Amino acid sequence: MKFDKKTTALVLTDPQNEFLHESGAGYPLVKEVLEHNHTVENLLALLTACRDKDYLVFISPHYYYPHDDQWRFFTKGEAMMHSMGMFRRESPSGGVADGRGADFCEIFKPFFDSPRTIVASPHKIFGPQTNDLTLQLRKYGISRLILGGMNSNICVESHMRDLVEQGFEVYVAKDATGAPGMDAYHAAEINFDMLSCGSFATADILKML
């Protein structure tokens, strides 16, 4: 199979310091899987290939503003992230301070500062139902997706499920993801294989670009 850059794009969830950099609050939870998968290296390889071959890249980030702390109820995962101050921005109108947990990883920023990268509005729970990712993909005429990012069993899987339901052809770069422990990662792997159009190692995805 070969991907077509006119209709195919790379979609990354939460490529932020919070999980992917050792300074992030969530990094200790995912460190084992990041090292096992070489997640950061694989994300860089995908971004490099997409830049060199002129594929669009879409980012679905996670941000919380102070007013989000006033929600009446939280899931367990949300409660944990709020209690740890994860993905925190001081206001919707303010930027993200360099190096903070909500900031994009520094090594990815050269790829994101490009007219070929579209940063969606923030998703607030785990999936793209709460942001404009689907709208952006359709406006750009994208129908086939390569999905990666954090975390495998939470935001990546939630994005995969909704995008499949929305009629997109979704493929997962399974080792360009990470999770809070190997059990969580393997659980996501099972669902990637079952529910997406294909779950592949990054090396195989690169051959298809």
Q: What is the pLDDT of residues 58-113, one digit of tens each?
A: 999 988 887 777 878 888 877 777 777 767 777 676 667 666 878 999 999 999 99
Say what the pLDDT of residue 87 is: 77
The pLDDT score that the predictor gives to residue 33 is 98
Please tell me the predicted confidence (pLDDT) of residue 93.
60
- Asked, for residue 2, whether it belongs to a domain, the answer is no
Burial class (CB in 10 A: 0-12, 13-18, 19+), 160: buried
- Residue 155 located in a structural domain: yes
The total domain count for the chain is 1
Residue 180 in this model has a pLDDT that exceeds 80: yes
Q: Is residue 179 part of a domain?
A: yes
Whether residue 50 lies inside any domain: the answer is yes
pLDDT of residue 97: 65
Residue 200 bridge partners (DSSP): 173
| CATH number for the domain harbouring residue 95 | 3.40.50.850
CA dihedral 72, 59, 86, 74 (to 10 degrees): 20
Amino acid at 73: F
Q: Is residue 1 one of the residues assigned to a domain?
A: no
User: Domain range holding 133?
Assistant: 8-208
Q: Is 70 exceeded by the pLDDT of residue 34?
A: yes
